[in-house]
């Protein structure tokens, strides 16, 4: 198979140069991980008080850098200002309507201090939890960093989630503060946010305040005593207060944020990340994977509502002192060259996006990128799902002009930072492989008993040693944390992904082994959508599977049995889509809903999703083992169904 080594020019200026250098670093980390990470933590982060112990490991619970005092907001802002980088651009913001803001580190520091002062004066303090539900505007990272400054644990809820999803998260966290906006812009239309907040808070009595940033200027109701305008609170600050909001000196294990992610049951898990270890790995991977240097203009197109935005728009780039682009809207608005136009105008040198976005843009043809000067690019990155070789080749040739290495980065909400990826100046790429694990990351491919399967065989991907940015627990449910991640292969972290290692030691991640779908790089649980569907009065039972999809990787396909009655199937399909949109969020709506008289089940009554998967994949009868099936006639009727039945 063809490999793609970096050019000599790329290698010459890279942080890690050549395969030997990578191997040396990897071996050094493997020999003494605690020492390796401790030395980096001392060197790469600023501490108020040095730590005394690298790692305390009581499987599956880890504590990193015990005894130290640190603050993530300080590391992202104050330390750069103190080191003479005040004038450097931190954020290049482009709103969807075309508005722009260039924000220096000094200005960002000032804005974060002001907003931290605002919420401090409202009485919020370290240990409290805030829900953040905002569009992709600078006030979103500002809100995160203000919370981090005070030790308030934040939980960003992606703007595409519904009021129901928002409520579940606010309740699970027992949040007392919500930070939101009137709305944001997407595809030329306003995405309203405040309405969903109002609806969700009807059942969240512990939320004392909603701070609302004015973005679109549309008319929204404000609840007296509870809802407050960001700009009004800001105007009330006196200069003294605004400028004086020192970062709290926090324990490195202080909870920095919780992000909810889909698991194998209907209820999303609150993945907890803490301060010191998370920040260290977010920072290191900016150098190792993105090869960041001071003159780079870096752009990650993810939404801050997902972990990629947390680690690679906010904490990683800012802690590493990068200039980072923030774009509010959609890649196809006003035209299909919005990405290429932004890259040209802002001279982006590092561009990190998803296979789904790449595939959607390929469809629009090469004329769109070819109209633009993309010569500022020097490195490309991919995340969220396996990248198919055709998309890889297009990205490499049409966007990177065969000059730019591609880093295919494998990681998860739970891992906090990139785990498997080429170091671009050291590891030659193979299209479709995330290549080799980063230093300090010990991975293996194992069978159901936890025994290594050997090269070129498929198995479960596990991580064998604790790492600084690992998930610490599932919020409020340490038992679930233990069962979900650490019980399949005792003592190792179970990723939920299948993988294969080739003879060069390269890892090929094949996809989920559990009931989690990956739609446009968004994680969705089959159970979560099923439980939404069965809430609808017409639905008796539902089974959801992922169906291969050309652009989004997978699409949601639901098999539904109805309660007795006369139903208009066409109308009901529409209604159920809307219903799932309301229960979870528009992005979770099934693309396809098939009505059926019965679902295939085992004799013990478990739905056999594997058979449904085979039906949607092959468009015909399932080929696998069906001996456990309770009622064979179900299959024949399911397979003969067509999309519009
Ligand atoms: C960062 C992120 C995690 C799941 C993970 C995989 C899949 C992510 C890749 C990938 C193959 C990749 N966090 N995944 N990156 N599969 N190659 N480079 O996506 O928590 O939302 O999803 O995504 O299945 O388990 S996530």
Average pLDDT score over residue span 283-293: 98
Whether ligand 1 lies within 6 angstroms of the CB of 383 is answered as yes
pLDDT of residue 608: 80
CA-522 nearest atom, ligand 1: 21
Rounded distance from Cα 136 to ligand 1 centre (Å): 22
pLDDT, tens only, 9-51 = 999 999 999 999 999 999 999 999 999 999 999 999 999 999 9
- Helix intervals (H) in 425-562: 478-486, 526-534
pLDDT grade for 421, boundaries at 50, 70 and 90: very high
- What is the Å distance from ligand 1's center to 519 Cα? 11
Q: Is the CB of 410 under 6 A from ligand 1?
A: yes
Task: Report yes or no: 60 and 482 within 8 Å, Cβ to Cβ.
Answer: yes
From atom 3 of ligand 1, which residue's Cα is the shortest distance away?
412
CA of 60 to the centre of ligand 1 (A): 22
Confidence of residue 52 (pLDDT cuts 50, 70, 90): very high
Distance from the first to the final alpha carbon of the chain: 44
Residue 136 has pLDDT above 50, yes or no: yes
Q: What is residue 446's predicted lDDT score, i.e. its pLDDT?
A: 96
Q: Over the stretch 139-182, which tens digit does the pLDDT of each residue have?
A: 999 999 999 999 999 999 999 899 999 999 999 999 999 999 99
pLDDT bin (cut points 50, 70, 90) of residue 263 is confident
Closest CA to 80 of 102, 49, 111, 104: 104
The residue to which tokens 């906006």 are assigned: 181
- The number of beta carbons lying within 10 Å of the beta carbon of residue 148 is 30
Q: Tens digit of pLDDT for each residue in 434-468? A: 999 999 999 999 999 999 999 999 999 999 999 99
CA of 213 to the centre of ligand 1 (A): 32
Among the atoms of ligand 1, which is closest to the Cα of residue 511?
Answer: 24
Q: 418: CA distance to ligand 1 center in Å?
A: 10
Q: What is the mean pLDDT of residues 583-608?
A: 85
CA distances from 583 to 172, 186, 476, 527, 539 (A): 16, 21, 23, 13, 15
Chain-centre distance for alpha carbon 178: 21
CA dist 526 → 348, 545, 617 (Å): 38, 6, 16
**Percent of the chain at pLDDT exceeding 70:** 95
Mean pLDDT of 359-376: 95
The CA-CA-CA angle for residues 78, 79, 85, to 5°, reads 95
Q: What's the pLDDT score for residue 320?
A: 98
pLDDT of residue 78 exceeding 80, the answer is yes
Q: Is the CB of 385 under 6 A from ligand 1?
A: yes
Number of other CB atoms surrounding residue 454 within 10 Å = 10
- pLDDT tens figures, 484-507: 999 999 999 999 999 999 999 999
Residue 412 Cα, ligand 1 centroid: separation in angstroms?
A: 5
> How many residues are given for the chain?
645
Residue from 216, 218, 178, 213 nearest 198 by CA: 178
Q: Are 299 and 352 in contact (CB under 8 A)?
A: yes
Q: What pLDDT, on a 0 to 100 scale, did the predictor assign at position 633? A: 62
Whether 641 has a pLDDT exceeding 90, the answer reads no
Decide if pLDDT at 538 tops 60: yes
Cα 518 to middle of ligand 1, angstroms: 8
Minimum CA distance residue for ligand 1 atom 10 = 385
Pairing of strands 269-274, 255-261: antiparallel
CA 510 to ligand 1: nearest atom: 11
Token pair of 298, please?
Answer: 């870096």
Ligand 1, atom 16: nearest CA belongs to which residue? 385
Bridge-based pairing state of the strands 177-181 and 209-213 = parallel
Nearest CA to ligand 1 atom 5: 412
Q: What is the residue with the minimal CA distance to atom 19 of ligand 1?
A: 384
543-576 per-position pLDDT tens digit:
999 999 989 989 999 999 998 888 999 999 999 9
Residue 173 burial (CB < 10 Å; 0-12/13-18/19+)? buried
Closest residue CA from atom 1 of ligand 1: 412
**pLDDT of amino acid 620:** 57
- Give yes or no for residue 433 CB within 6 A of ligand 1: no
User: Which of 518, 524, 528, 553 for mutating ligand 1's site (highest number of atoms within 8 Å of CB)?
Assistant: 518
pLDDT for the residue numbered 402? 97
Higher pLDDT pick, 527 / 192: 192
Token digits of residue 391: 């998309």
**Is the Cβ atom of 509 under 6 angstroms away from ligand 1?**
yes
Each residue of 289-335: pLDDT tens digit? 999 999 999 999 999 999 999 999 999 999 999 999 999 999 999 99
**Residue to probe by mutation, ligand 1, list 352, 380, 385, most atoms within 8 Å of CB:** 385
Per-residue pLDDT reduced to its tens digit, 603-634: 767 778 888 888 888 755 555 555 555 555 66
Does the Cβ of 307 fall within 6 Å of ligand 1? Answer: yes
CA of 353 to the centre of ligand 1 (A): 13
Q: Is the CB of 198 under 6 A from ligand 1?
A: no
Question: Which atom of ligand 1 lies closest to the CA of 523?
Answer: 21
* CB half-sphere exposure, 179, CA atoms < 13 A: 30
CB 616 within 8 A of CB 547: yes
């Amino acid at each position: 198979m063809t490999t793609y080594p970096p050019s000599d020019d790329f290698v010459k200026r890279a942080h890690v140069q050549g395969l030997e250098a990578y191997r040396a670093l990897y071996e050094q980390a493997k020999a003494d991980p605690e020492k390796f990470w401790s030395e980096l933590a001392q060197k790469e982060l600023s501490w108020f008080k040095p730590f005394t112990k690298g790692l305390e490991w009581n499987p599956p619970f880890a504590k990193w850098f015990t005894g130290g005092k640190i603050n993530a907001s300080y590391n992202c802002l104050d330390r750069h200002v103190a080191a003479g980088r005040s004038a450097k651009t931190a954020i290049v913001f482009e709103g969807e309507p075309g508005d722009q803001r260039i924000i220096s580190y000094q200005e960002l520091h000032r804005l974060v201090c002001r907003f931290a002062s605002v919420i401090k004066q409202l009485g919020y303090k370290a240990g409290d939890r805030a829900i953040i539900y905002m569009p992709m505007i600078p006030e979103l990272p500002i809100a995160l960093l203000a919370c981090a400054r005070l030790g308030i644990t934040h939980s960003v809820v992606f703007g595409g989630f519904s009021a129901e999803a928002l409520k579940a998260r606010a309740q699970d966290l027992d949040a007392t503060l919500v930070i939101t906006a009137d709305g944001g812009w997407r595809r030329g239309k306003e995405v309203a946010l405040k309405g969903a907040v109002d609806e969700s808070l009807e059942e969240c009595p512990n939320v004392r305040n909603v701070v609302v940033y004015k973005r679109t200027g549309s008319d929204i109701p404000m609840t007296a005593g509870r809802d407050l305008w960001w700009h009004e609170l800001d105007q009330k600050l006196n200069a003294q207060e605004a400028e004086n909001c020192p970062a709290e000196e926090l324990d490195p294990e202080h909870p920095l944020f919780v992000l909810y992610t889909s698991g194998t049951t209907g209820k999303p898990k609150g993945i907890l990340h803490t301060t010191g270890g998370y920040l260290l790995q977010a920072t290191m991977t900016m150098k190792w994977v993105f090869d960041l240097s001071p003159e780079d203009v870096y752009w990650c197109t993810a939404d801050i509502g997902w972990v990629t935005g947390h680690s690679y728009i906010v904490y990683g780039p800012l802690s590493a002192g990068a200039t980072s682009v923030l774009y509010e809207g959609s890649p196809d608005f006003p035209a299909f060259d919005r990405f290429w136009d932004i890259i040209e105008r802002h001279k982006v040198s590092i561009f990190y996006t998803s296979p789904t976005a790449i595939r959607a843009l390929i469809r629009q043809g090469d004329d769109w990128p070819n109209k633009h000067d993309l010569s500022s690019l020097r490195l490309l990155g991919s995340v969220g799902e396996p990248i198919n070789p055709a998309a890889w080749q297009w990205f490499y040739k049409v966007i990177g002009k065969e000059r730019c290495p591609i880093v295919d980065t494998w990681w998860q909400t739970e891992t906090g930072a990139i785990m498997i990826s080429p170091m671009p100046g050291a590891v030659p790429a193979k299209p479709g492989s995330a290549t080799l694990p980063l230093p300090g990351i010990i991975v293996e491919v194992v069978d159901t008993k936890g025994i290594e399967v050997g090269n070129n065989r498929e198995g479960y991907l596990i991580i064998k040693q604790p790492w600084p940015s690992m998930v610490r627990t599932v919020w409020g449910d340490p038992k679930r944390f233990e069962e979900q991640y650490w019980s399949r292969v005792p003592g190792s972290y179970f990723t939920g992904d299948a993988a294969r290692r080739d003879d060069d030691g390269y890892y090929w991640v094949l996809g989920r082994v559990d009931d989690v779908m990956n739609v446009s790089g968004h994680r969705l649980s089959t159970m979560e959508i099923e439980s939404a569907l069965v809430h609808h009065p017409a639905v008796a039972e539902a089974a959801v599977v992922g169906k291969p999809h050309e652009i989004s990787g997978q699409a949601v396909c639901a098999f539904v049995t109805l309660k007795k009655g006369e139903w208009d199937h066409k109308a009901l399909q529409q209604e159920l889509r809307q219903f799932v949109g309301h229960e979870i969020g528009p992005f979770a709506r099934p693309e396809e809903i098939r009505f059926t008289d019965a679902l295939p089940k085992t004799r013990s009554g478990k739905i056999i999703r594997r058979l449904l998967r085979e039906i949607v994949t092959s468009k015909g009868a399932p080929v696998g083992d069906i001996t456990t099936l309770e009622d064979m006639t179900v299959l024949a009727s399911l397979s003969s169904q067509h999309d519009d039945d």
